[in-house]
Amino acid sequence: MGFVQGLRVDQTLDIRGLPRAPAYAAAVARLAAMPEHDTLELYLDEGEPLNTIPFGLRAEGHEILVSEPANPGVRLLIRKRELLP
């Protein structure tokens, strides 16, 4: 666990280099295993993964706190949230 830009990072997952579907599945599985309100540091590729994965995670109720370039790819900080029933 560490702090980045004043935000606590509870876990890190690097899905760069994976095709979009397995990358998304890995991110969802990691978030599902985390306690609510924990923060996941996620590294992903630009292009299709960046155009789809953050939107899917938001649709599942998670909050994107930071999106910034990482060399290569993009770094996201995602706060786990549960969807209301």
- List pLDDT tens digits, range 39-83: 999 999 999 999 999 999 999 999 999 999 999 999 999 999 987
Work out the burial of residue 80: count CB atoms within 10 Å of its CB; fewer than 13 is exposed, 13-18 middle, 19 or more buried.
buried
**1 pLDDT above the threshold of 60:** no
Q: Which two tokens stand for residue 33?
A: 């295993």
Q: Structural domain tally of the chain? A: 1
Does some domain include residue 30? yes
Say which CATH number the domain at 13 has.
3.30.110.40
In a domain, 53, yes or no: yes
How far is residue 32's CA from residue 71's CA, in Å, rounded to a whole number?
27
How much is the pTM? 0.89
Please check whether residue 61 lies inside any domain of the structure.
yes
Domain membership of residue 84 (yes or no) is no
Range of the domain at 41: 2-79
> How much is the pLDDT for 82?
81
Judge whether residue 24 has pLDDT over 80: yes
Q: In which band, very low, low, confident or very high, does the pLDDT at 7 lie, cut at 50, 70 and 90?
A: confident
71 Cβ contact list (under 8 Å, min separation 6): none
